[in-house]
Structure 1
Amino acid sequence: MDFVKFEPISIRNHPELNERWVQDRIAEDPSILGLGDVVLKDRERMQPKAGRLDLLLQDVESSRRYEVEIQLGATDESHIIRTIEYWDIERKRYPQYEHTAVIVAEDITSRFLNVINLFNGTIPLIAIQMRALQSGGKVGLVFTTIVDLLSLGLVDEDEEGQEPTDRAYWETRGSKKTVAMADQLLTIAKAHDPTLELKYNKFYIGLARNGQPCNFVVFRPKKGFIRFEVRLRNSPETQERLESAGLDVMDYDNRWGYYRIRLQPGELDKHKLILSDVIAEAYAASAQK
């Protein structure tokens, strides 16, 4: 293969390229943003008394919509406020959908990265850094997710009402065999962090590090099987990979961001390789947040 040296360029300062050009490229192929299998729903969408939303994208496999605002150059106050305002307008107009605000900018500055991280967890928000690269008179775009979507309410376990339980509770609610499967899955997870331990809650068994929730995977033991839930971005490729490996994928929880997989006693050894892979991916994604 021939090595090609790419030269970074500024779209904001380029004599020919502009925001319209960026919009056109994303509209042609929305998947370049890295948001999964999404399609263009609308562009330059009029907002009542608030200007125009650059791009509205929709996930083809779920009810999630992305309100996308593009900023040439560095992020600034008006860009962040405008993005959140358009997200708020759209979610109120179309409450039947799940809405996520997306900021795309050439430079996600450290100052505003801190501000964006403050919003994330209360407002579903993704920050994507856009880089233009030039080689031989041709220009390409590279998009890197700097701040990813956090599932609201999971970190502090609000859905459980802060009600801890114990192993005996789950061995009664499920069975000793299925709770033992949680031990085996914990062993796989501990390859990435030996300090992880099981945390018994009223509605699921989670993971904890030094007593604090670390729920990139959770377990729900039943009488005859365990429901293994792993936090991964929803995509057709991931779905196909899981199913091709022979896993019983029940569904995807769009609200919390988990694939829900049914595992029967005796199946862990059979699926150890794929389970190790997805646990590693989920752990790596959680470590970036």
Structure 2
Amino acid sequence: MDYTPSDRVYLEDDLGLDAAWLAARIVEDPALLALGETELAVEHIAPSDRPGSLTVHLADPTAGIWHVAEVKLADADTDQVLRVLTLWLGSRTDPAGAERQPSVVAEHIPPAVARAVLMAQEVAPLGAYELHALQVGDQVALHTEPVQPPETTDAAADHELATRLAEALARLQGHSPEQAADLRLRMIGRLYRHDDRGPADPPAPV
């Protein structure tokens, strides 16, 4: 068996391929996003309101799940997390009553975004996935892998991010400032439980 070296590349920055090109690949092979364990069907793909981004709706009839994913070229950011949560909150079930599963997909999930996804799991079954492009000769191979959040390295940044997420979700749901503050504490608690270190009720940063 011959060996052919491959290089990881970024679709737009390295190859000049845009979100429309990626959308066509998802239509051809919905499984490349790795969002389900059974066969997925593309229900709708549209350009997002942000450059280099797509909103993708996939149906998994076998599992009874409707996937909604915000897919972005290059690096993910926390605005992408908030957008997919907005879509999820707007319609938690599809017309057939299937469970709606939100996901963030990007070529790179920075640590802060991975931790934002973990915090958001306090209210939503949110997943984070990296889309890897490999160039083999003149061919491009795509595959997607789930991303796990790293342990905290900046407690103050975690608290700031939790505050932003909790306040945004409170506005979307019409919740009070007190409910937003409670959600922020629960999000921080989830981080500490994931890290398996620190006190059960983490102190606020000074």
Kept after mapping to 2: 8 A contact 1:74/1:107: yes
Greater share of residues in helix: 2
C-alpha change, 1:130 and 1:29, in structure 2 (3 Å) is: same
Question: Are residues 1:120 and 2:116 paired?
Answer: no
Identity %: 23
| Contact map agreement 1:26 1:33 (CA 8 A) in 2 | yes
Alpha-carbon shift at residue 140 of structure 1 (Å): 0.9
Gap change, CA 1:138 and 1:53, over 3 Å in 2: closer
Q: Matched residues in 1 for 2:70 and 2:31: separation?
A: 16
> What TM-score results when the alignment is normalised by the length of structure 1?
0.46
Q: Give the Cα separation in 1 of the matches to 2:148 and 2:66.
A: 17
Q: In the alignment, which residue of structure 2 is the partner of 1:111?
A: 112
Deviation at 1:15, TM superposition (A): 4.9
Q: Map of 1:170-209 to 2, 5 A cutoff?
A: none
Summarize the Cα distance change of 1:137–1:98 in structure 2 as closer, same or farther, 3 Å threshold: same
**Residue 241 of structure 1 corresponds to which residue in structure 2?**
none
Alignment of 1:1-289 (within 5 A): 1-34=1-34, 35-36=36-37, 37-44=39-46, 54-91=55-92, 94=95, 96-147=97-148
What's the CA shift for 1:19?
1.4
TM superposition shift of 1:45: 8.2
Segments of structure 1 that go 5 or more residues without pairing to the other structure are 149-289
Name whichever structure is richer in strand by fraction: 1
CA contact (8 A) 2:41 2:59 kept: yes
Q: How far, CA to CA, are the matches of 2:75 and 2:115 in structure 1? A: 14
In structure 2, stretches of 5+ residues that fail to align are: 150-206
Structure 1 position 126, deviation (Å): 1.2
User: What RMSD in Å do the two structures reach over aligned CA positions?
Assistant: 2.5
The one-letter amino acid paired with 1:86 is L
Give the drift of 1:44.
1.4
User: C-alpha distance in 2, partners of 1:7/1:91?
Assistant: 39
Contact 2:69 2:105 in 1 (8 A): yes
- In structure 2, how many angstroms separate the alpha carbons of the residues matched to 1:131 and 1:101? 20
In 1, Cα distance between equivalents of 2:101 and 2:14 = 30
1:194-215 Cα shifts (integer Å, max 9, x gaps): xxxxxxxxxxxxxxxxxxxxxx
Q: Is the 8 A contact 1:53 1:86 kept in 2?
A: no
Q: How much has 1:12 moved relative to structure 2?
A: 3.1
Structure 1 runs of 4+ with >3 Å offset:
92-95
Q: CA deviation at 1:60?
A: 2.3
Alignment check: 8 A CA contact 1:105 1:130 kept: yes
Specify whether residues 91 and 45 from structure 1 end up closer, same or farther in structure 2 by C-alpha distance, changes over 3 A only.
farther
Higher-RCO chain (CA-CA 8 Å, sequence separation at least 6): 2
Question: 8 Å contact 2:40–2:59 — kept in the other structure?
Answer: yes
Cα displacement (A) at 1:16 = 2.8
After superposition, what is the alpha-carbon deviation per residue over 1:233-264, rounded to whole angstroms, capped at 9, x for unaligned?
Answer: xxxxxxxxxxxxxxxxxxxxxxxxxxxxxxxx
**Residues 28 and 90 of structure 1: is their aligned pair in 2 closer, same or farther, counting only changes over 3 Å?**
farther
Give the partner amino acid of 1:19: A
